[in-house]
Structures are given as C-alpha cells and as structure tokens.
C-alpha cells in the first residue's frame, strides 16, 4: 500500500532505492522525454479507468546544474499560464516529491517544459506534466525507482493542479496501455490487455472545460439501478478487453453517471455521438472532464472515418476541432534523447 502526504509529501510504504539498480552505463547530463495524452473515465469507468494515446503530449528536459535545488528555467507553449516556481508547477511538485524521497532535494537540476497539448482539454494535460516531471528526474538520476514506484509522486503532482486524488490519467501516462485503478487511495493500479485491432478516435473541440466545473455539476447521489447498470457496463468493458470481444466492448461503452450531466458543456455533443456511431464506432463518450470526445473503434480505417465525422460536426457550428487517431499507446511516457 502506498500513502503520500497531499501536495507531494514523503511517501510511505515505498522500498528504498537500490544503489546501482537500473543505472545507466555512463552518468547522464541531460534527458529529454515525451509525456503523452490520455483518455480517462472511458465512459463507464469514472475515475478508475484510462488509456494512453500517441499524441498530443508534452516534452520535458532535465539537466544537472551547479545551482542547488530544482529550478524550472523555461516553459513554452503555455501562453504564460504556468508558474516557473517549481513548487507551484505540476511537473515541479512531482519532481520535488521524488527528490525528497531520495534524499536529494539539494541536488542542482534545471528543467524545461514544452507544452504541446491544449489546456482544459480533457486529455490529461496536467497529468502529462506531473508524470513527465518525476519520470525525467528519475531517469536523470539513473532510474533509482521503477515506473510503478513513481505512482505516488505523479499523483501528488496532478493533485496539486486539480485538487483531486485519482490516477486514471497519470496511470496510463506513466505505465502505458489501459489501466484500471482498483483503489485510488491505495494506488492499486492494474494493466488491462489491449485488443489487437483496437483504435481510438479522439477529437478536441477548441473550447475550454475546467475540471473543477465539470466535477461541480456531477450528482452527489445516484440511483441504485443506475449504479448497478454502470457496474455491469464496466465489468463488460473489461471482459471485452480481456477477450478481444469488440461487440462486447461496444455494448458496454456507455456512461450513465457523468455523460448525462457533462454533455451540456460540449456543444453538439449528441450530434457528434450520432455521427461517430453512424461512421462505425464501437462506442463514444467524453474524454475525462471534456471537452474532448473519444470513440473506440475496430481498426484504423474506421477510426479515421469516425474522427473525420465527429470533427465535421464541430466544424459546422463552427468550432475548430483537432482530430487524433491512435492505437492504444503501450509505452506511455518515454525517453526521446539523453546524453
């Protein structure tokens, strides 16, 4: 069981780093990583299910410095929205938490953050930064912790941004693929098999939906019948993934809790959903808190047709829409270059 003080305190229950384990052959001076977007909730898996896609994503660079402490020296692509103060920045919070655990808070490290995904998009922008911050510093230090051991630090980083303690974005971003979070409190995260022909069509309409607002409109109580059906959908979806049963995936990919309330934040949502289903999607729903939407599809060709059909609905309003077509990304965050 992992526990961690809110906002990036010292984790408990983690093994101490093993000296020499996973260490690079030569000490690293600089590391550049790519931290990809994610789709959370996946319709019926509110706060407990997510998957990783290939793009968009953030790039983060870390290098050693002669100045003690962690400093963020540059942020691009954020239009001045993000703080350079590393203790107030999502990537910095997760990195600080890791360094405290390793007893290396005074180590001189410079970080650059290059935001290449939209804010308030429902694609895990803050999660990508939180994952990237801890991952790049861990790699710069020679990987003293495994990816799974980084989980409490990256969750703390995202919690600093949105106030919620959940791993349905950071889990798949850090570990890749499809992840199920049995318990967010305990960070009990499991890998789910990826069906071979499963593709995602994700469309981002150029509007902003704040996670805080999307959470505020959620119901505080739900009917027992609704809960039972949602549980059945989640179980069916997981069985569909395990069995590569695309028809079962389609029957299960329905959200009875968040979508009925959050759809009002996304113009033309139900027109977009109808267009996706007509183009052959297995199922369609809201990505995270929105406004991005997603469909799961059997094959690349269908995914491209679905993405184009959904983008056309938003463009007709008119709202600029950016489509992303991707396999489920099994890698998650990864190194681009190091020296």
User: If pLDDT is split at 50, 70 and 90, which confidence band does 1 have?
Assistant: very low
Q: What pLDDT is stored for residue 10 in this prediction?
A: 43
Specify the pLDDT at position 212: 77
For position 6, what pLDDT does the model report? 38
Directed axis angle between helix 90-102 and helix 151-162, to 10°?
Answer: 140
- What is the structure's pLDDT at 14? 55
**What is the C-alpha to C-alpha distance for residues 77 and 82, in angstroms, rounded to an integer?**
10
* Whether the Cβ atoms of residue 177 and residue 52 lie closer than 8 Å to each other: yes
For the cut 60, the answer to whether the pLDDT of residue 11 exceeds it is no
Res. 16 pLDDT band, cuts 50 70 90: low
Catalytically annotated residue among 38, 90, 179, 211 = 211
Per the prediction, the chain carries an average pLDDT of 92
Active site residue 158: yes
pLDDT band at 26 (very low <50, low <70, confident <90, very high): low
Topology adopted by domain 30-191+329-338:
Ribosomal Protein S5; domain 2 (3.30.230)
Which pTM was predicted? 0.92
Band (294; pLDDT cuts 50, 70, 90): very high
Per residue in 56-114, pLDDT tens? Answer: 999 999 999 999 999 999 999 998 889 999 999 999 999 999 999 999 999 999 999 99
3-state secondary structure the chain: CCECCCCCCCCECCCCCCCCCCCCCCCCCEEEEEEEEEEECCCCCCCCEEEEEEEEEEEEEEEECCCCCEEEEEEECCCCCCCCCCCCCHHHHHHHHHHHHHCCCCCCEEEEEECCCCCCCCCCHHHHHHHHHHHHHHHHCCCCCCCHHHHHHHHHHHHHHHCCCCCCCHHHHHHCCEEEEEECCCCEEEEECCCCCEEEEEEEECCCCCHHHHHHCCCCCCCHHHHHHHHHHHHHHHHHHHHCCHHHHHHHCCCCCCHHHHHHHCCCHHHHHHHHHHCCCCEEEECCCCCCEEEEEECHHHHHHHHHHHHHHHHCCCCCEEEEEEECCCCCCEEEEEC
What is the average pLDDT across 290-314? 98
> What's the rounded mean pLDDT across residues 309-331?
97
Handedness of CA 160, 163, 166, 167 (dihedral sign): negative
Domain 30-191+329-338 and domain 198-327 have a common topology:
no
pLDDT at 140: 98
Q: What is the mean pLDDT of residues 295-318?
A: 98
Rounded-to-integer distance, Cα 126 and Cα 58, Å: 10
% of residues, the chain, pLDDT over 70: 92
* Model pLDDT, residue 164: 75
Catalytic residue among 59, 112, 158, 259: 158
- Is pLDDT at 46 greater than 80 in this prediction? yes
Average pLDDT over residues 101-130: 95
Confidence at 131, pLDDT banded by 50, 70, 90: very high
Which pLDDT band holds residue 35 (cuts at 50, 70, 90)?
A: very high
Q: Average pLDDT in the 232-256 region?
A: 98
Angle between helices 125-140 and 90-102 (to 10 degrees): 30
Q: CATH 1.10.3720.10: does it fit domain 198-327?
A: no
- The residue ranges of every structural domain in the chain are 30-191+329-338, 198-327
Buried b vs exposed e over 213-226: b needs ≥16 C-beta within 10 Å? ebeeeeeeeeeeee
Give the model's pLDDT for residue 8.
Answer: 38
Model confidence over 184-240: pLDDT tens digits?
999 999 999 999 999 999 999 999 887 778 888 898 999 999 999 999 999 999 999
211 has catalytic annotation: yes
Q: Is the pLDDT of residue 21 over 70?
A: no
Q: What is the mean pLDDT of residues 164-180?
A: 94
Q: In this prediction, what percent of the chain has a pLDDT beyond 90?
A: 83
């Amino acid at each position: 069981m992992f526990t961690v003080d809110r906002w990036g305190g010292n984790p408990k229950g983690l093994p101490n780093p093993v000296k020499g384990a996973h260490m690079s052959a030569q000490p690293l001076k600089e590391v550049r990583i790519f931290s990809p977007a994610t789709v959370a909730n996946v319709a019926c898996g509110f706060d407990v299910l997510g998957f990783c896609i290939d793009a968009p994503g953030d790039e983060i660079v870390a290098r050693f410095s002669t100045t003690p402490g962690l400093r963020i020296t540059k942020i691009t692509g954020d239009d001045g929205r993000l703080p350079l103060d590393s203790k107030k920045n999502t990537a910095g919070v997760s990195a600080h938490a890791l360094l405290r655990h390793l007893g290396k808070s005074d180590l001189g490290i410079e970080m650059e953050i290059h935001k290449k995904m939209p804010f308030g998009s429902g694609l895990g922008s803050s999660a990508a930064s939180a994952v990237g911050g801890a991952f790049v510093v861990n790699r710069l230090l020679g990987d003293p912790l495994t990816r799974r051991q980084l989980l409490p630090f990256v969750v703390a980083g995202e919690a600093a941004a949105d106030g919620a303690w959940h791993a349905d974005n950071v889990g798949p971003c850090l570990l890749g693929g499809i992840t199920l979070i049995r318990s967010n409190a305990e960070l009990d995260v499991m890998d789910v098999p990826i069906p071979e022909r499963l593709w995602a069509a994700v469309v981002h309409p150029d509007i902003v939906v704040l996670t805080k607002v999307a959470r505020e409109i959620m119901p505080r109580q739900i009917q027992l019948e609704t809960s039972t059906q949602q549980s059945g959908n989640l179980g069916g979806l997981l069985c569909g993934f395990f069995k590569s049963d695309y028809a079962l995936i389609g029957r299960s990919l329905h959200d009875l809790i968040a979508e009925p309330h959050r759809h009002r934040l996304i113009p033309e949502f139900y027109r977009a959903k109808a267009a996706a289903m007509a183009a052959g999607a297995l199922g369609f729903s809201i990505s995270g808190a929105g406004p991005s939407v997603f469909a799961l599809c059997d094959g690349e060709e269908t995914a491209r047709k679905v993405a184009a059909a959904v983008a056309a609905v938003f463009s007709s309003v008119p709202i600029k829409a950016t489509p992303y077509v991707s396999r489920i990304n099994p890698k998650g965050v990864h190194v681009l270059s190091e020296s």
